[in-house]
Structures are given as C-alpha cells and as structure tokens.
Amino acid sequence: MVKPAKGTTTLAFIFKEGVMVAADSRASMGGYISSQSVKKIIEINPYMLGTMAGGAADCQFWHRNLGIKGPGLYYVDSEGGRLKGMRFSVGSGSPYAYGVLDNGYRYDMSVEEAAELARRSIYHATFRDGASGGVA
C-alpha cells in the first residue's frame, strides 16, 4: 500500500479590503507528481472559501460539512481543531510562504498589493518545496 505524502502550499490573510486566498496547483504522492492543475481553493458557499491541504478525504469532509459562521479566517486541522487568525499558510511549503508573507503583510494593503504578496508567497514555496508547484 502506498502511503500518500501530504505536500502543498495554501495561504489566506485578512486585509482592509477583505480576504486574500492563494494556493499552488500541484498534486503529488511521494515523489510522483500526479497533476499540475488541481484547484485547491473551493467555494463552500457565496460567502465562504476553503483551501485543500492534506488528504483529499479530509478536505471533502470539510467541504460538505462546514456551515456559515460569519466573516473570519480559520485554520481547521484534520482532527477538527480550529484556530481563528489574521493569516495562515498550510502545507509542506508553508514555512517558505510564511517567510515572505510575514515580511510583507500589512492590514492596510490595496487589493493589488495583497494579490502580489499572495502570488510571491506561493511562488517562493513552490521554488523551495518539491511537493508544491504548478501555478498560483
């Protein structure tokens, strides 16, 4: 039996204009890259987005079962634990993404600045983390 390796980079942060969400698009299992075009940002409802990092079954469970809680940014782990915060990055590339995100994050960014910070954070993760890749 092949044990799936969990590798990806997703991130989200709150800024004055709303919430910016970004993710890479690579799907991998160990050293095998199965796809470069996976959509890891999912619409749960018109007011809620989620990102997928980890086992697909875990992500599908949360996609089906999350409800409307109001505005906010939450990290939900595979055990169901939740943390509320202003910014998160998840996956094997997250230490690299956090390096850029923490350095460039400001609450008062414009939409263009926030989008550029998100792209740059994902790009640096895909450059350094072999399990992350594709496009941001």
**106: containing domain:** 10-128
Residue 3 falls inside a structural domain: no
Q: Residue 103 has what pLDDT?
A: 96
Asked if residue 53 belongs to a domain, the reply is yes
Compute the distance between CA of residue 67 and CA of residue 101 in angstroms, rounded to an integer: 28
Nearest 10 degrees: CA dihedral of 93, 94, 100, 105? 150
**Active-site amino acid positions:** 8
CATH number at residue 73: 3.60.20.10
**Strand (E) or helix (H) holding 76:** strand 74-76
89 domain residue, yes or no: yes
Q: What is the pLDDT of residue 13?
A: 93
Report yes or no on 4 lying in a domain: no
pTM of the model: 0.72
Q: Which two tokens mark 133? A: 């890749």
pLDDT at res. 55: 60
- Distance in angstroms (rounded) separating the CA atoms of residues 95 and 101: 10
1 lies in some domain: no
Domain assignment present for 134: no
What length is written for the chain? 136
* Total domains present in the chain: 1
| Chunked mean pLDDT (size 10), the chain, 136 residues | 58 91 79 72 79 63 55 74 88 91 96 96 88 74
